[in-house]
Amino acid sequence: MVKFFVVNAGCIRRGRHQNGKYMFFGEGVHVYPSPYITVDHHDVRLTEGAILHGTKAIITVTQGFVGLAMDRGQPVLLPPGLHQWDSPTIECWPKMPKASFYAVKS
């Protein structure tokens, strides 16, 4: 089964392989000739503060703020800008609604 989809400009779309691998698809036209891949039906705007998908994350820290994430119990400071990583060791903090991420006014 071939999957064909279009991701709008300024957006990404989440996907996952049956082997457990998490994927992000960037803007543009995508064709995947694999029955083992599932793709979300909606795009996610890159302007959202934190986009988490399994082991992958895309974090946007706005100007004037510093981002804070935790990796293996160690704090990770994120300067303003766009950050991405693929790490199974980044943990969500218990009372955060969507992400293990805080933005603190500098």
Q: Which residues pair with 98 in a beta bridge?
A: none
Predicted confidence band at 82 (pLDDT cuts at 50, 70, 90)? confident
**99's tokens:** 């992400």
Nearest CA to 27 among 45, 15, 9? Answer: 9
Half-sphere exposure of 104 (CA within 13 A, CB side): 10
Reported pTM: 0.73
Q: What is the pLDDT of residue 17?
A: 92
Q: Over the stretch 7-38, which tens digit does the pLDDT of each residue have?
A: 999 999 999 999 989 999 999 999 988 889 99
Domain residue spans of the chain: 3-45, 50-105
